[in-house]
Amino acid sequence: MTKSVIVPLADGFEEIEAVSVIDILRRGGVKVTTAGLHPGVAKGAHGIDIQPDTTLDTALDMKADMVVLPGGMPGAEHLRDDPRVMALLQRVHEQGGYACAICAAPMALGAAGLTAGRTVTSYPGFGDQFSHGPYVEDRVVVDGKVITSRGPGTATEFALTLLETLVGPQKAREVADGLLAVRSPAPRVV
């Protein structure tokens, strides 16, 4: 069955991180729905405006195997401070799905109570802004159903790890080859 992923887009999202995740998961056959925190375009941190597929209000009740939060500032703060994002993360997590975030956005997973005791990473300097278990500097970290990563330069590795998690290593390898991606070190799996 096709896997479904929701990517909330807040004003101030990091464009490379958001687009790498959406593009790469779609290349792998995953159904990705981008959900703006408000109607209209979501404004990127570097002036790139994306028209989301739907609004977060509409996406709140959608079935999802995974939620992925792009970083970027102030986008990650907007995600952390939005009760709907917290509710979405908690609901998907309780239903056995994955909660994933990159760059500054792991703090939103923390605010949702999903990183307590978990091994995580984030963009440098953001590790002290939320509760978690061991903080590591691996480029991608998989601790059960919580997957974190570090920044725009790790976004392709992060997205390929998410794809492998959802659809398996063979498809992820095919997509990586199609991208002409550099073969990257395996994620830290806790």
Contact status: 62 vs its own copies (CB under 8 A)? no
Pick the closer one to its own copies by CB: 23 or 81: 23
Structure tokens at 35: 């959900």
CA geometry: angle 134, 45, 31, nearest 5 deg: 70
Contact status: 5 vs its own copies (CB under 8 A)? no
Q: Which of residues 103-132 bind its own copies (CB under 8 A)?
A: 123-124
Which of 36, 70, 152, 187 forms a contact with its own copies (CB under 8 A)? 152
Count of chain residues binding its own copies (CB under 8 A): 37
- Per the annotation, the verdict on 103 as an active-site residue is yes
User: Where does this chain touch its own copies (CB under 8 A) — which range of 41-49, 80-88, 125-133, 161-169?
Assistant: 41-49
- Residues forming beta bridges with residue 131, ordered by sequence position: none
To its own copies, the closest distance from the beta carbon of 114 in angstroms equals 23
Contact status: 8 vs its own copies (CB under 8 A)? no
Pick the closer one to its own copies by CB: 19 or 167: 19
Among residues 150, 154, 152, 148, the alpha carbon closest in space to that of 132 is found at: 148
User: Phi and psi (nearest 5°) for 126?
Assistant: -100, -5
Which of 4, 115, 156, 165 forms a contact with its own copies (CB under 8 A)? 156
> Taking phi first (over 0 means left), then psi (-120 to 50 degrees means alpha), and beta for anything else, what does residue 57 get?
alpha
Pick the closer one to its own copies by CB: 47 or 96: 47
Dist. CA 15–CA 21, nearest whole Å: 10
Query: At a CB cut-off of 8 Å and minimum separation 6, what does 42 contact?
Result: 9, 10, 11, 13, 34, 36, 49, 50, 51, 52
Query: At a CB cut-off of 8 Å and minimum separation 6, what does 39 contact?
Result: 55
Catalytic residue (choose from 30, 103, 163, 176) = 103
Q: Which residues bind its own copies (CB under 8 A)?
A: 14-16, 19-20, 22-24, 26-27, 32, 34, 41, 44, 46-51, 53, 123-124, 139, 150-154, 156, 176, 178-182, 184
